[in-house]
Amino acid sequence: MAERAEVVFVDGVRTPFGRAGEKGMYWNTRADDLVVKAMIGLMERNPTLPGDRVDDVAIAATTQTGDQGLTLGRTSAILAGLPKTVPGFAIDRMCAGAMTAVTTMGSAIGFGSYELAIAGGVEHMGRHPMGGNADPNPRFIAEKLVSEDALVMGATAERIHDRFPAYSKERSDRYALRSQQKVAAAYQAGKIQPDLVPIAIRSEMGWGLADRDEAPRPETTMEGLANLKTPFRPHGRITAGNASGLNDGATACLLASSSAAKELGLGVKMKMVNFAFAGVEPEVMGLGPVPSTEKALRKAGLSISDIGLFELNEAFAVQVISFLDHFGIDDDDPRVNEYGGSIAFGHPLASSGVRLMNQLAAQFAEHPEVRYGLTAMCIGLGQGGTVIWENPNYDKKAKR
Ligand SMILES: CC(C)(COP(=O)(O)OP(=O)(O)OC[C@H]1O[C@@H](n2cnc3c(N)ncnc32)[C@H](O)[C@@H]1OP(=O)(O)O)[C@@H](O)C(=O)NCCC(=O)NCCS
């Protein structure tokens, strides 16, 4: 019998996120190189990690072809310089790919089979447009299992606005504006930079260095947001301003059993408490984090009031609002996305789960008064995923 273990998040990094497309900073960079660079950066930050002790490498991508194909976990482990004895594999749960890589590796550690594992994700949405080369079974539509627009994420967000008329476009825009402002403030305070692995990039102008996110728009105003087109529906409510964008980027993190972390002198930024995934109607996929969070809280024996920090993926402002509304949390509650979210940073699909974790880990260090936090995200085709974490710096006597 394997001996059950406590699972810890040792450290996590990411590449700066780029804007997808020919004008984006990673247009001439391979997707797999992004995640390889993130893994190298992670190992450089944790020099006491013996590469040959890594039990497995799980790397997520939504579109697993071309430079995102060929079992990414294995190819990127070799390219990152891990010994060839270290195995690896690829994972897909669309937007929650990296989150699923973490829960899968965390489960193997918790079960006692693994001691150390790398988990992460990459999405180069410039080279691999969303849904590109996918061939959804026609029965989905023909047999009315899902409606056609359930496969278009922006359309599913429009449906949340339809379903909950109280979530106005103005409210979504205001949420989006705050996300931009929080990201700008977090950059200004130097809170984002420490977890970024700079990447050498090539453009027509020669070599350069990507060392900050390309997508944030600190100049955003309510007037600017109000005038944007609604690409998913005439007179709709979803715009480029209140949605996450199309981006390129990669993330990687190191997970360990608490005993292996102690033995190797590795830091502990978070302890994994529990997690859950749940399904909802694909037509309103953005509601997914509500049941996944209820399920994860139930399994953890906690309630929403025990959670002191939230890192919610902002696929669309309206789906974050639906989560907050459900749990009775204000749109501008300071516990939520303290450094801003995907509306400003961007959302390279399968990589984003670990960005949420990096940010929660940084906030845990700043908030010893907080014991529990959670990372949650919605997932295409109608799912949600939630991971609950405990703060190792928790101090009962500390005050907010
Ligand atoms: C919404 C979406 C279609 C917009 O794509 P796009 O048109 O390529 O987006 P752009 O960045 O070019 O922005 C469009 C316009 O809005 C403007 N804009 C974007 N954000 C803005 C902001 N915060 N303030 C002011 N203007 C803004 C841009 O400048 C651009 O203006 P232009 O047309 O005059 O150049 C795309 O980002 C999208 O599909 N997002 C959702 C991604 C998704 O589904 N992810 C999975 C989640 S489950």
Identify whether the C-beta of residue 255 lies closer than 8 Å to the C-beta of residue 119.
yes
Q: Determine the distance separating the centroid of ligand 1 and the alpha carbon of 243, expressed in angstroms.
A: 7
Residue 63: strand, helix, or coil: coil
Position 296 scores a pLDDT of 99
By alpha-carbon position, which residue is closest to atom 16 of ligand 1?
240
Query: Is 2 buried (19+), middle (13-18) or exposed (0-12) by CB count in 10 A?
Result: exposed
- pLDDT, the chain, mean: 97
Catalytic position from the list 161, 253, 367, 378: 378
By alpha-carbon position, which residue is closest to atom 7 of ligand 1?
240
Confidence of residue 301 (pLDDT cuts 50, 70, 90): very high
Position 250 scores a pLDDT of 99
* pLDDT surpasses 90 at 132: no
State if residue 315 touches ligand 1 by the CB under 6 angstroms criterion.
yes
pLDDT per residue as tens digits for the range 211-257: 999 999 999 999 999 999 999 999 999 999 999 999 999 999 999 99
By alpha-carbon position, which residue is closest to atom 17 of ligand 1?
240
Compute the average pLDDT of residues 110-117. 98
Q: Which two tokens stand for residue 164?
A: 């909950």
Distance CA 325, CA 168 (A): 13
Q: Name the residue of 169, 228, 287 whose CB sits within 8 Å of the most ligand 1 atoms, as the mutation to test its pocket.
A: 228
Closest CA to 271 of 8, 4, 5: 8
* pLDDT surpasses 90 at 1: no
* pLDDT surpasses 80 at 306: yes
Query: Please, which residues have CB within 8 angstroms of residue 206's CB and are 6 or more apart in sequence?
Result: none
Position 303 scores a pLDDT of 98
Compute the average pLDDT of residues 175-179. 99
Position 210 scores a pLDDT of 98
Residue 121 β-bridge partners = 60, 251
| 347 annotated active-site | yes
* pLDDT surpasses 80 at 399: no
Residue 377 β-bridge partners = 385
Closest CA to 215 of 176, 158, 175: 176
Sequence-ordered strand ranges (E) for the chain? 7-14, 18-19, 56-60, 88-91, 116-124, 199-203, 206-210, 247-257, 270-279, 307-312, 372-379, 383-390
Q: Name the residue of 239, 322, 381 whose CB sits within 8 Å of the most ligand 1 atoms, as the mutation to test its pocket.
A: 239
Number of neighbours of residue 143 by Cβ within 10 angstroms: 9
Q: Determine the distance separating the centroid of ligand 1 and the alpha carbon of 219, expressed in angstroms.
A: 15
The one-letter amino acid code at 289 reads P
Distance CA 378, CA 190 (A): 28
State if residue 377 touches ligand 1 by the CB under 6 angstroms criterion.
no
Position 101 scores a pLDDT of 99
By alpha-carbon position, which residue is closest to atom 10 of ligand 1?
240
Question: b vs e for 245-282, b when ≥16 Cβ sit within 10 Å of the residue's Cβ?
Answer: bbbbbbbbbbbbbbebbeebebbbbbbbbbbbbbebeb
Q: Determine the distance separating the centroid of ligand 1 and the alpha carbon of 139, expressed in angstroms.
A: 31
93 φ, ψ to 5°?
-140, 50
Length of the chain: 400
Position 97 scores a pLDDT of 98
Q: Which two tokens stand for residue 24?
A: 């984006």
State if residue 154 touches ligand 1 by the CB under 6 angstroms criterion.
yes
Confidence of residue 2 (pLDDT cuts 50, 70, 90): confident
| 95 annotated active-site | yes
Identify whether the C-beta of residue 31 lies closer than 8 Å to the C-beta of residue 67.
yes
Q: Determine the distance separating the centroid of ligand 1 and the alpha carbon of 360, expressed in angstroms.
A: 26
- What is the pairing mode between strands 206-210 and 199-203? antiparallel
Number of neighbours of residue 229 by Cβ within 10 angstroms: 10
Compute the average pLDDT of residues 21-36. 98
Position 144 scores a pLDDT of 86
Q: Which two tokens stand for residue 286?
A: 């953005």
Q: Determine the distance separating the centroid of ligand 1 and the alpha carbon of 221, expressed in angstroms.
A: 15
State if residue 228 touches ligand 1 by the CB under 6 angstroms criterion.
yes
Position 96 scores a pLDDT of 98
Q: Determine the distance separating the centroid of ligand 1 and the alpha carbon of 215, expressed in angstroms.
A: 10
Distance CA 197, CA 102 (A): 19
